[in-house]
């Protein structure tokens, strides 16, 4: 932006409005002024006003939003007190430094990628997400090919936990079948008859026949892409193709993906970038190098990549969230311990909706600490397995 200066006219502005952490006002840019001119001066304003941070964000053509943040809101994040923003498939998950909670809304952003180095806060983010969904009528399904170490504590509330690549393949097959059946249902409902409805997704169906939403959580996606030999490679390719298909078509069928990984680039193998492109929601925790940040946020905004690379190691849980519209912000989720998360999953296990197609995959929870083949092992619902 060499040689560019904002036209020397003050922009028109609205009255400043207080927020939970500072002030916000709207600015109407004068002719010849560009959002970049204001972004560039944000740091000077911050010093001039003695504020913790000043954020400038374009809202609509000609308009900017200027947010002044009084203190370091990310130092300690507590769960949102008002659950106002929460709703079916809508969860306030993380606090941005500049105001209102970042809400994960599966119906607007169906699939999401959570990226970050080890110990950067991915699992804590995922815990918040799973615990939020646990209280809702949502089928939760997990793939964790690290022998289930990450997702095992959530087993009581999960309808399925696939902990090997073979199981994951079978589970994806079942989900694809479920998706096809849902599409048939959507198609049938638009046929002739007094009850005919015209809809292109499950949400348009009458509540009585609407299938329950399914959220598939994949912890460490790289494990799915691993292939040691030629046979493995075939299996891997098949699995990746299935995941891509779910990502491409799942939204309309009410099937959503939440994918975690340390890196997610073309080096993972065939199909990786194609799958990534479908995961439009992005959460990038601290990463070790700029390439990783670019994998998560490169197609969103260059400034977002920069922000992600400057997350300090002593602030785990801080992340940059972005979406395909180009908007992004720095956020942190409340700290949720594994014990608390496991307790939520135990308390809500009875809320897990039935999905007959996944019944054969129902995870088994040992009543007593015993081996997996122990006779004390029963399905988590406590009902006898009827197959």
Ligand X SMILES: Nc1ncnc2c1ncn2[C@@H]1O[C@H](COP(=O)(O)OP(=O)(O)O)[C@@H](O)[C@H]1O
List interacting residues with ligand X (CB under 6 A): 116, 118-124, 316-317, 332-333, 335
Q: How far is CA 216 from CA 71, 118, 282, in A?
A: 37, 21, 16
Nearer to Mg ion, 123 or 349 (CB): 123
Which two tokens mark 184? Answer: 């048939």
Interacting partner of 119 out of ligand X, Mg ion, none (Cβ under 5 to 8 A depending on kind):
ligand X
Residue with smallest beta-carbon separation from ligand X: 317
Tell me the C-alpha distance between 211 and 207, whole Å: 8
Decide whether 117 or 205 has the Cβ nearer to ligand X: 117
Contact map string, positions 112 to 151, toward Mg ion, x by CB under 5 A = ----------xx----------------------------
Closer to ligand X at the Cβ: 19 or 262? 262
Region of 360 (left: φ > 0; alpha: ψ -120 to 50; beta: rest) is alpha
121 binds, among ligand X, Mg ion, none (CB under 5 to 8 A by kind): ligand X
Q: Of 63, 131, 72, 125, give the one whose Cα is nearest residue 98.
A: 72
Which of Mg ion, ligand X, none does residue 11 bind (CB under 5 to 8 Å by kind)?
none
Main-chain phi, psi angles of 52, to 5 degrees: -75, -40
Strand locations in 100-213 (E): 102-105, 112-115, 139-144, 160-162
Cβ 174 to ligand X shortest distance, Å: 27
Tokens standing for residue 256? 């959503």
Q: Is 309 in the site for Mg ion (CB under 5 A)?
A: no
Comparison of 96 and 121: residue with beta carbon closer to Mg ion = 121
Rounded least distance, CB 3 to ligand X, Å: 43
Selection from ligand X, Mg ion, none that 120 binds (CB < 5 to 8 A by kind) is ligand X
Number of CB atoms found within 10 A of residue 103's CB: 16
Q: Other C-beta atoms within 10 Å of 342: how many?
A: 18
- Where on the chain is the footprint of Mg ion (CB under 5 A)? 122-123
């Amino acid at each position: 932006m060499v040689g560019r200066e904002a036209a020397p006219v003050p922009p028109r502005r609205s009255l400043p409005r207080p927020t939970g952490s500072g002030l916000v006002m709207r600015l109407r840019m004068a002719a010849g002024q560009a959002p970049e001119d204001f972004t560039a001066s944000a740091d000077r304003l911050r010093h001039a006003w003695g504020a913790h941070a000043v954020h400038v964000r374009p809202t609509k053509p000609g308009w900017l939003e200027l947010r002044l943040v009084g203190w370091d809101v990310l130092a300690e994040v507590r769960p949102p007190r008002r659950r106002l923003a929460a709703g079916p498939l809508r969860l306030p998950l993380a606090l941005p430094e500049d105001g209102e909670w970042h809400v994960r809304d599966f119906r607007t952003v169906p699939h999401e990628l959570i990226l970050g180095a080890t110990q950067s806060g991915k699992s804590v983010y995922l815990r918040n997400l799973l615990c939020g969904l646990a209280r809702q009528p949502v089928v939760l399904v997990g793939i964790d090919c690290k022998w289930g170490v990450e997702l095992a504590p959530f087993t009581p509330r999960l309808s399925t936990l696939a902990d090997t690549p073979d199981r994951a393949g079978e589970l994806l097959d079942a989900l694809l079948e479920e998706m096809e059946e849902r599409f048939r249902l959507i198609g049938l409902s638009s046929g002739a008859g007094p009850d005919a409805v015209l809809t292109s997704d499950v949400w348009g169906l009458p509540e009585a026949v609407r299938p329950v939403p399914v959220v598939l959580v994949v912890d460490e996606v790289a494990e799915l892409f691993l292939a040691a030999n030629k046979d493995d490679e075939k299996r891997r390719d098949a699995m990746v193709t299935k995941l891509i298909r779910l990502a491409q078509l799942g939204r309309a069928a009410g099937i959503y993906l939440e994918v975690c990984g340390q890196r997610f680039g073309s080096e993972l193998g065939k199909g990786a970038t194609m799958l990534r492109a479908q995961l439009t929601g992005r959460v990038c925790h601290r990463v070790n190098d700029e390439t990783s940040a670019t994998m998560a946020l490169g197609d969103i905004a260059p400034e977002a990549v920069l922000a992600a690379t400057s997350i300090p190691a002593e602030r785990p849980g801080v992340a940059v969230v972005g979406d395909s519209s180009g908007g992004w912000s720095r956020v942190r989720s409340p700290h949720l311990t594994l014990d608390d998360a496991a307790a939520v999953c135990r308390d809500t296990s009875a809320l897990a909706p039935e999905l007959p197609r996944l019944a054969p995959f129902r995870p088994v929870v040992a009543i007593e600490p015993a081996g997996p083949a122990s006779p004390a092992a029963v399905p988590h619902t406590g009902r006898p397995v009827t197959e």
